[in-house]
């Protein structure tokens, strides 16, 4: 049973590592994505409250962020999206009023630069710079992988220690 857990960690680690490498390459490529003029359809302020905490904690940890929906056209095909950047959304704010002020910078009907992936024009962002969030999956994947690898490598010792501790 414990062997299966370590194999699971290795598999999960490989998944996150591959995804992390892909995401870093996509974020780096986004700097060179094609810029086109788009139009803001709608901007709203969204609320995020963590799940699984007490009501008091949810209120204390609640954040607000603008969600910007926009359109852009490539080769006569109209696309719609709301992705702000790869790896992260629009910055979060502790106060709803701060988020409203940030959202006010993106009024409906305003033209805006949209950066789309020339390989997949339906994929676009407003900010093509690589954000720190794009780096997160890789170290998590490596951590899971090495924990699983070390668990498999030292499985006999772990099992022996578990049997000694159980008796």
Q: What is the pLDDT of residues 66-86, one digit of tens each?
A: 999 999 999 999 999 999 888
pLDDT for 131 beyond 70 = yes
Please state, in angstroms and rounded to a whole number, the distance separating the CA atoms of residues 167 and 165.
6
User: Span 122-131, mean pLDDT?
Assistant: 88
Which residues touch 133 (CB under 8 Å, ≥6 apart)? Answer: 86, 87, 88
* Alpha-helix runs per DSSP H in 1-136: 2-30, 55-61, 96-104
**Residue 102 pLDDT level (bands cut at 50, 70, 90):** very high
Residue 144 above 90 pLDDT?
yes
How many other β-carbons are positioned within 10 Å of the β-carbon of residue 115? 22
Nearest to 30 by CA among 113, 103, 107, 111: 113
Alpha-carbon span 161 to 149, nearest angstrom: 18
- pLDDT tens across 84-98, in order? 888 766 788 999 999
Res 146 pLDDT > 90: yes
40-55: average pLDDT: 88
Q: Count Cα atoms within 13 angstroms, Cβ side, for 151.
A: 18
Structure token pair of residue 14 = 């490989």
Could you give the CA distance from residue 52 to residue 18 in angstroms, rounded to a whole number?
Answer: 30
Of 165 and 33, more confident = 33
Q: How many CA atoms does the CB half-sphere of 33 hold within 13 Å?
A: 30
Instruction: Assess contact for 108 and 41: CB atoms under 8 A.
Output: yes
Strands 34-48 and 120-125 come out as: unpaired
């Amino acid at each position: 049973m414990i062997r299966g857990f370590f194999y699971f960690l290795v598999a999960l680690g490989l998944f996150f590592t591959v995804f992390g490498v892909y995401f870093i390459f996509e974020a780096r490529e986004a700097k060179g994505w094609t810029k086109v003029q788009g139009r803001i359809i709608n901007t709203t302020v969204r609320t995020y409250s963590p799940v699984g905490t007490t009501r008091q904690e949810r209120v204390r940890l609640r954040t607000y962020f603008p969600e910007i929906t926009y359109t852009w056209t490539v080769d006569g095909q109209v696309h719609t999206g709301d992705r702000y950047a790869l790896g992260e959304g629009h910055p979060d704010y502790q106060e709803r009023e701060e988020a409203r002020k940030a959202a006010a910078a993106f009024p409906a009907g305003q033209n805006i630069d949209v950066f789309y992936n020339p390989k997949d024009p339906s994929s676009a962002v407003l900010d093509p710079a690589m954000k720190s969030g794009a780096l997160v999956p890789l170290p998590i994947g490596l951590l899971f992988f090495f924990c699983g690898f070390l668990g498999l490598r030292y499985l006999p010792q772990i099992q022996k220690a578990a049997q000694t501790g159980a008796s």
